[in-house]
Every structure is written in structure tokens, then in C-alpha cells.
Structure 1
Amino acid sequence: MCEELPVELCAYSISDAGKRCVLENYLARKGIVKYQCKTSEVVVETMSGWIETEACINDCGLDRNAVGISSDYLLSHNFVAKLCSQPCSSYCPNILDLYSNLAQAEGNILCTNIITYQHYTGNAENITT
């Protein structure tokens, strides 16, 4: 259950029931912002009980302290290039699943231009979509 995870492991984790964990913030007493891990209603069909590795967080250009689940990051060409880089796209299926589904919900396909470019050049680091 996501609510049992420490906040520093919450973002990009998946509960045993296959639901994405989401880091949320709230205003506590005296105006202090606090964080808590919650179970979202977003179901992951192919994985459960998953805590994302620090290697994937770094390779995919993510922030472990990201609050919520948002497709806003997909507007950044640099972010998409990092997601579609070989280390992220090959070794971080949870991250690719999350952002592919977010892109798909907005009518886009993640990494198509970059994958085509990789196929011809073997390098995804210098291309953006």
C-alpha cells in the first residue's frame, strides 16, 4: 500500500495492487507544507509492488520529489529526449509505461521520432521530438 511508503520512495512506485503511488503535499499547521504518499486510481496492468530505482530516476531525468502525476513534463523536448534515451527506454519499463500512457492520453506517441533516429544513427542523445 502506497500510504506505508516513506515519501522519499513514493513517486514512480506501484502498489502491490498495481496502482500508481503519488506524492501529495498539504498545508499543515503554521503554514508548513508536508508531504504524504497516496494510492492513485491509475492502474498499471503489467507491474505491481514496484519501487523505482535511483538509476532509473537519474537516467530518465526525473525528480523523486515530484508531486502528482502530470503530462506537463512532456512539453519539454529535453525531458522527452532523456525519457527516450537508451538507458531509460531500455531499462526503465515502469517510467516508459507511465509517460507513454500520459502521451497516448493526449493523442501522442512517445519516442517515435527518437526511436527512428536511434535506429539509423545509434544515438538518441542529440535529437528531440
Structure 2
Amino acid sequence: MALPTPSSLTVALAVSLLLSISNLPSVRALGVECEELPQELCAYAVSAQSKRCVLESVPKTDGTTEFQCRTSEVRVEKTADWIETDECVNVCGVDRGTVGISSDALLDSGFTRKLCSADCYQNCPNIVDLFFNLAAAEGKFLPEICAAWRSSVRRAMEEEAMGLAPTEAVSLASEPATVGF
């Protein structure tokens, strides 16, 4: 009894499926190449060569701006072939539309709150590593920034419990203590 041979349509569909799967950044044999990533996956990705991907704006001759994913010269110690998860992007409060690499976000107390949260700090090492290094470049130590933020929140909660006006407690909670860039 002879086995049936696959039809040319079945073979074509199988090849097409294989090719489409192989184009996904997370399963390519060559790993993540920043220049091949779509804009919405670029920021916070790490290439196969352990370099951070960065979204750059490129002015066009018609006055509009185009965004392109490029490989930066920023090397990552323990990570390669990484596209950040949507979960980490959300819990850490980062934006996939961020152009360039900057420590400016550390000035925003709302961002610091999310970055220093247990959900981000303990579960999203790529984002934490990036901001750890950005803080270090500014002469700051991220664990101290987070400790100061947690301390100010605790202090605000204690002061509110002792009867301070809520606006005073909220203002203390919204700013990290002794942190400045």
C-alpha cells in the first residue's frame, strides 16, 4: 500500500508557514537585528551582539519625520536576543515610542514609582539594567533611588496616619527623597 504524497498546495502552505515563522525576531536563527525590528518592538530590545536597540528619528526632505530602529553602541552585559515583553513595558512605565536612550525618565516621580515597584524591579531585569546604568552615568545608584522613593512613601503614609493634611502627605509621596539629576 503506497502512502499518499502531499499535494503541491499542501507543500506550498507548509513552506509559506515556515518562512513566516522564521521571520519572527524571537525565532530567527541569527537572532535579533535592530535594523530589522519594526518601530513598535525597537525600544528596550537587545541585539544578538548584546547591544541595545534604539529608536531614532530621521528627518525626511519633505519635512516629515521617519522613525528607524538602529543598533546603539551601548553594550548589555548579560542579555542578548531580547525583545522586551509588553508586560514589562506596562509595569515599568516605559514607552515603546521612546526615541534614543536617556535618563530623563528618572526625573519623573510617576515613572520612578513604576520602575521601583516590585513587579518591575524583580521581574524585568532588562529595563532595570538599562536604568541602573543610566542612573550610574549620572552618578546615582538605582537601588538608593528606589530605597529613597519607598522611604518617602512610607513616611508620607505615617504622617497621614498621624493627621497631617492629605495634600502634604501626597506631595511627600510623589517626590523621591534626596534624588536629583
Q: The TM-score by the shorter chain falls in which range?
A: 0.7 to 0.9
Q: Does 1:84 align with 2:116?
A: yes
Unaligned runs of 5+ in 2: 1-32, 155-172, 177-181
User: Paired residue for 1:6, among 18, 38, 51?
Assistant: 38
Where does 1:103-122 land on structure 2 (aligned, <5 Å)? Answer: 103-112=135-144, 114-115=146-147, 117=150
Gaps of 5+ in 1: none
Q: Match for 1:87: what amino acid?
A: D
2:86 partner letter: E
Higher normalized helix content (fraction of residues): 2
Q: Count how many residue pairs are aligned between Structure 1 and Structure 2.
A: 123
Is contact 2:56–2:69 with CA below 8 Å preserved after alignment?
yes
Relative distance call for 1:86 and 1:128 in structure 2 (3 A) is farther
Specify the structure having the higher radius of gyration (Cα): 2
Correspondence for 2:47 among 7, 11, 15 = 15
State the alpha-carbon separation in 1 of the partners of residues 47 and 55 from structure 2.
Answer: 13
Tell me which of 93, 98, 101 is aligned to 1:61. 93
Partner SS, residue 62 of structure 2: helix
Letter in 1 for 2:93: G
Greater strand fraction, Structure 1 or Structure 2: 1
Q: 2:37, 2:145 → 1: CA distance?
A: 36
User: Which residue, 82, 95, 114 being the options, matches 1:50?
Assistant: 82
In the superposition, the TM-score normalised over structure 1's length comes to 0.88
Matched AA of 2:117: S
- Aligned mates of 1:40, 1:115 — CA distance in 2: 30
One-letter amino acid of the structure 2 residue matched with residue 104 of structure 1: A
C-alpha deviation, 1:37, in angstroms: 0.3
Q: Quick check: 67-76 or 26-35, which moved more?
A: 26-35
Is the Cα contact below 8 Å between 2:112 and 2:146 reproduced in 1? Answer: no
Q: State the TM-score, normalizing by the size of structure 2.
A: 0.63
Identity of aligned pairs, percent? Answer: 51
User: Considering only aligned residues, what root-mean-square deviation do their CA atoms show, in Å?
Assistant: 1.7
Q: Does 1:34 align with 2:78?
A: no
Deviating beyond 3 angstroms after TM superposition, the runs of 4 or more aligned structure 1 residues are 113-118
- Give the conservation status (yes or no) of the 8 Å contact 1:24–1:36: yes
Question: In 2, distance between residues paired with 1:112 and 1:70?
Answer: 19
Secondary structure of the corresponding residue to residue 52 of structure 2: strand
